[in-house]
Each structure stands twice: as structure tokens, then as C-alpha cells.
Structure 1
Amino acid sequence: MEHRRIQLYAALFLFDIAILFGSFWLSAAILVGQTPSMRAIQVMQFTIPIFVVIAIYNRLYSIQTLENLRHALTRLAMTLAVSAMLFLVMTFYVGSTTDFARLTFSTAIVMAFVAMLLVRSVFYWNVRRNFAGRVSNVLIIEDGGPHIDLPGAGRVTADSAMVENAHTDPEALDLLGRTMRDMDRVIVSCPIERRVFWTRIMRAAGVHGEVVSEALQELGALALEREHGWSFLVVSAGPLGLRARLTKRVIDLAFTLPAVILLSPLFLIVALLIKLEDGGPVFFVQPRMGQGNVMFDMLKFRSMKVAKLDSEGARSTSRDDDRVTRIGKIIRRTSIDELPQLLNVLRSEMSLVGPRPHALGSLANEKLFWEIDSNYWQRHSLKPGLTGLAQVRGFRGATETEGHLTDRLGADLEYIRNWSPLGDLKIIFATAKVLVHPNAY
């Protein structure tokens, strides 16, 4: 397989060089009507060496680029972009430029990207069809551990007697060495008492070795860190990075500040109607669990009678709940009662998009939420949201069954795993479709 990979790398590299030549040649022919164009040839002579160096540095020809199309296209875009910028710095910035060269160069780069994209798509589907999507040599050695299923991986079962005698039997070591030779990865599934043995064998064989661990599977370990001679399991990724947090905050403020200004007349009208109905407080303030399992006071327009307010949230609101006021029915049905949480967003206690904060006493099938699923607390790794993935999927209203809770929890954890700025924007715009919802009561 290693020889076949080298062939694929070489073919892909030659295609890339040919595409660059062809793109500059064709660009000059289309824009100038001159073939060959000496100016296009000069630009091409500068660009191709830069591209080759950046491509090798950026690992444009690697196992992952053959097996993962998205990764390949990302690397390709980065390589062409960096190559173009370096060319501009080295030539255009010092004044050796003409309008013809700029136009030819830009057109050629775009044409090259499209053509290289198509070539990589063909290579990717060829790998999937002819090599089951894998161009790396992966061997799974089964020695009494859990069954591991990896598509395209080879598999052997270790002989127990041979394993026991391998420490003192050169022939057994020879057999193991031949089995592992030329493998890109060797994965051993064995009982815990034989992990040290297999570790020593794989290190001696000089292979990339891995040992399956059921304990790590249960922990959901993400990575392994080493410092001062100690090894540490990474079991939690921590909060979003600084750039991601800033991006999320900018999105929050970009929508929240105009919304508060535009909706301020509605705020005043709703507050006046609540006061006129029974003279009670305008806001209902309830402690909720926020990011990092830290409590905060969440704001809502009061929609229930003062004497029947449920500060713990133990009783979910039903469709014909006698606790809801007349104005409360309207603002709950239209989700207007949630608008004061825009102030929580401004105070950075909440975000526009995130897992909805639940009342601490909320129940499903007479159980507290965290008693139903031990992963419940993981939803607090991000700021709670005014809306979320669960809400736009229609998971709203009373939590009468455990399934109502697990549906919402599954959506919340999916959102946390796959967070992106584009995802937040999609949820914000999708929320407009579910502001009035049959389960909003």
C-alpha cells in the first residue's frame, strides 16, 4: 500500500503542475489572445516553485488528503492562497507588475483551483472504490480484548501460547515482527495485563502502535499530554478558543443591541399590560444553571399569577394551566415572555444561541433531569441560549416523558460538539419560524 500511495502522490503532483501550466497558458490565450505569452510564462516560472514548496510544507500530498476530501480541499485552498500572496509580495509589491499580469494571474489561479478540485474529487472516489476508502496499512491484532471494527483494516488473531513465550522465543518475535512490518498503524486489543507486553513489542518493532482501552473509551479520552515525565489524559476540551468566543460574542451583540432598541416599545407595552392585569411585578426572575455550572438569574416577563409562581420549576406548564394570566397566555404563545433574556445576553450571562437553561426543579417522568441522563451537566460547557438547536427542531413544551428530555439533551450536545458561527446564524434565522409553536403554552 505504501508503494501505491507513492504512485498516487506522484500522479497528483504531476496533475497539479500540469494544471498550473495549463491554467496560465489558457488564461493568457483567453485574455490576451497570445499563445505562447512570454509574460504568462514568466509569471508561471515564479509561481510553480512557490506552489511546490508551500504544497510540501502544507502536506498537500499525504494520507489524509487521499482519504478525506474535505481535508484535501481545505489544504488545496490554503496552499494556493499562500502561494498567490507570496508571489504578490515577491513580484507585484516591488513594482514589477502590469494590468495584464494581474488579470492573467488572478484568472489562472481561479482556473487552477477549480481544476485541482475536480482532480482531487476523482482521486478521492477512486480511493473509495478501489481501496475501501483507505490507503494506509492498518492492522488489528486481537488478543482477547474488545472487538474493534475499522473499515479497510487487516485483522489477525494472536496465538495465546506464542504471546506467552514471545519474551524468550526469538522465532515468536520474528513472526510478530514480520506480521507488523510495513504497517502504518498497528492496533492491539488485549486484556489490561498484556498491554505492557504489547507496548514493548510494538516499540521494538518500530511501528506506530496503539492499544485499545475500554477504560479510556468510557472516559471519552480526547488526547494524551506529557509533561515532566508524567502522562495526562485529556478528557475535556475546555471552552471555545479565544477567537471562537470573540466571534460568538460579536454575533450576540450584533443582533441583541439592535433588537433591544427596536423592541423597547413592545417591552413597555407588555410591562404596562402585566401591571394593569394584577399589579404584580413585571419580571419573573428565576435562578438557572449557566456556563461552567455557575448559577445566574434569568429574566422573563411574568406570565403567571403572583400567588402561583413556581420558582423551582418543578411543575411544567400545561396547555390549560390555571396559573397563567390572560396576558401570559398571549406572550407565552408568541414567545414574547422570553425577550427579557436579551438583557441576560447583554450581561454576558447568556448567548443568543445555546442550550436552553432549565429550571432546577424541572422533572420528566417524576425524575430530575440529571437523574435521567448522567451526561446532562455537559450541556453547561457553553453559555445557555435564548434559542437553540433543540428549539428549532421542535423540542419545546412540557417534559412529560424521559424521551422529551433526552431529545433536547441530544440536540444540545450535538450543538456543542459541532459549534460554528455559521451554525449559530442558521439557528437564529430558523428560530423566526418557530416563535409561534403549538408546544409554546
Structure 2
Amino acid sequence: MILSDREGYSKYLRLINISFDVLVITLLFPMFFTGLGLNNLHFGIYQFVCWSIIAYFSEFYEVYRYTPPQQIGAMLVKQGIIFLLVVIAFFPFAKQTVFSGEATAKYMVVIFALITLFKFLLFYYLKKYRMVTGSNYRNAVIIGYTQDALRLKSFFEEKTEYGYRFSGFFSDTAVNNDVKGRIADIKTFVKENHIDEIYCSLNELSNDQLKDLVNFADITNKTIKFIPDTKEIFSKNLRIDYYEFFPVLSLRKTALHEPAAQVIKRVFDIAFSMLVIILVLSWLAPLLAILIKLESKGPVFFKQSRPGHNEKEFFCYKFRSMQINETTEQSVTRNDPRVTRIGKFIRKTSIDELPQFLNVLHGEMSVVGPRPHLWTQNNLYSSRIKKYMVRLYVKPGITGLAQVRGFRGEITNDEDMINRIKYDVFYIENWSLLLDFKIIIQTVVNIFMGEEKAY
């Protein structure tokens, strides 16, 4: 189970929070370190990189609507102490710079005063905003009718500042006005009533029901949480959160849903794409344009609608490798008569995919990620293969783990797609920048070694 970025504050509010902090540490340091011989560019880059790394590993921006103020304060203290140490560590290596303890102390006090004030103002403003306007709430249902479930319901209804709206219980053992139906009715109710979060009292669920609900949450991009007991679900990768004194278990998010990881991956995508566009496409595109035009009539580039991040449509670019035809929603088969002579070469070497670096630069794709499928494939397999929709929680990629493991090209049976999904989900759940580098290197190796399914 992979949680989407629907958890907690919207991604825009978190982006505002991160942007404010970065602006504060970037814009204010020249005011305090003037006359010390400090290289502002080097120190600015050093600060930004260190702040990002510290925030990522300390989970500094993991603040949700139920996060207590004490925990936010502890996060600020931890971030502040570690950041102070790395700021001090810069000066011994900057030989032309004079270290000033007074300037450093004033700088740290001012930036963390501003960051703390902004973070708490944003946190409390959102709570008041929910209470006054009734906006920014999340619809929740509870499976099970137990004492703990009733306590959670009371929390939702009494603590309106947390922004939850309780929509009812589902139970196979209890019948009253609060119980909206049986457990089997939950899926229809969630879809029809725009429910955001499903809370499960594990006492009333069998293991099969539990697995079915987790798969349902994957497919529909809903958040699922658990009211603790001793079921075997505890063996999974769980995080415990407290709604004041009430414990709730959540399936952990993946690294790719962390803001810091998204920034790192996006910066890498932009830098790598610019290198490819400048060093390769700048001279290769005109050459291929001539060869493609000489062999067949039609445009140099081929664009095709594909499902992207969260199933949002985008147009995927390629060098045209086939004769103009009307069967664009049919994937290429071995010895496909539509493929031109130059098309066979650029498909075999994957050169036809290079224009997708423009998609990456535009923010529609990533260098590494699950390959975007045709809409016909997406519609066919989304309901047939478990966890298929998980691959749409991240941006599609030019290359991916499934492709370098040999699962690329034509889909001849369900097993081909199942293997792709397994590798795509593994990539999402285990992402790291090092894994991206390994996949890119393996992609280049495969191009020169040749691939059986590259046709």
C-alpha cells in the first residue's frame, strides 16, 4: 500500500512552507556576514544543500493537521541545532573567511525566529480557517463499531479544528443510525460520497477483508488507517500517529512522496535533460529530421496522448518511426510493416525516445519512472491488475526499472503487464537517487548491447 500525497496539508501549502524557509536562509545571511570575506555564492549553495539534506532526514516538513505543537517545536530545535553545526563547519574550509561567533549567533536567532513564527502562524491559521469556513476538511468513515471507534468519532466531531468530517460507521455486527451499512457496502459509499480517509477497527475485519480494502485504497487513491489491535497487519511498514492521545496507524508513504525527494528528483531531471538537449539533441535532431523526411512524408516528431501523473493527460513526444497511419492506439509488434527503415534503427537504439527530454523539462515526465502506457492499455489493465494505479502516483519516465529488466515493448499477455507493474511498484517503494543512476547506466548499456524487445 502506498499513500498518495493527499495526506495532511496540500502540496501547495507545504511548498509555500519550504519556499519561505529557503528564502529566509538565502536572503538574510549577507546582512550578517558582511566584511568577513565570505563568498556569498558558495555559502548560499552550501546552506541550501545542507538545509535540504537535514530537513529530509529529520522529516522537518512532515507536519500534518493532527501534528501537536510540541512535536513541531521539537522538530524546529533539532533542525536548528544541526543546521547551526553545519554553518559553523563551513568556515574552517573557507580559508579567506573570518569566522564570527557573534554574527553566526545573530543570524541563527533571526532566521529561526522568522521560520518558527511563520510555521506556527500557518499551522494555527489553517486550524482557524477550517473552524470558521468549514473548508479544507477531509471526509472520513470508520469500519467497525467498537469503543475505540466511538472514541475516534468523538475526536472528529469535538475537535473540528483538525479538519475532519465524520460520515458514518460500517459494521457487520452493529445496527443503529450511525451505521451506514455493512462492510461490503463501503466501496460504493466511498466512491459516491467523496470519502478521503478510511479508518479500520481491525477487530471486525478478517485478513481477506483487510487485504481487499488495502487494494481498494490503492486503486482509488484513498488514505487507509488502522485503529490498533494485534492483527498481523502490524508486521507491515506502519507509522503510528497520535490524534492528541488517540493512536492511529498509517501505512508509510514512500520516499518519492517526500517534498525534499521530489525537489531533488526534479533538479536532477532538469539538469540531466538540459545536458541531453544541448549535447545530443541540438545536432542529432536536425540530422534525423532530414533522414525521416527523405524516407517518408509526414512530421519529424510524433506526439501521442498518454496518462501521466495522477492520470492527467499529456502528449508524449518521439521521433516519428512509422509511416503515417490511423492505428496510433495499437502498440508496435515484431516486424510491424508500419515501421520505416530509419524507424527500425532509431527504435532499436531507443533514439526515438530522446524528444521526451522536452517532456521532462516541461515537468510532465521524469528521466526515470514507470513508462507511460497507451490509454487503451491503461483502461484495460487498471481494473484487472492489482496495484496498477500505484504507478500513476508518480511522473512517468523515459526509462524505468521494468524496462532495464527486459519488460519493455509489446504486451502479449497479462503476465507481461504484471511483471512491469511489479518492477514499477518496487521502484516507487524503494526510490533513491542512486537507483536512478543505476537505471540510467543500465539503459545506456542495454542500448549498446542490444535488446530483444526493442523493435
TM (norm. structure 2) is 0.47
TM (norm. structure 1) is 0.49
Higher-Rg structure is 1
Highest RCO, 1 vs 2 (Cα 8 Å, sep ≥ 6): 2
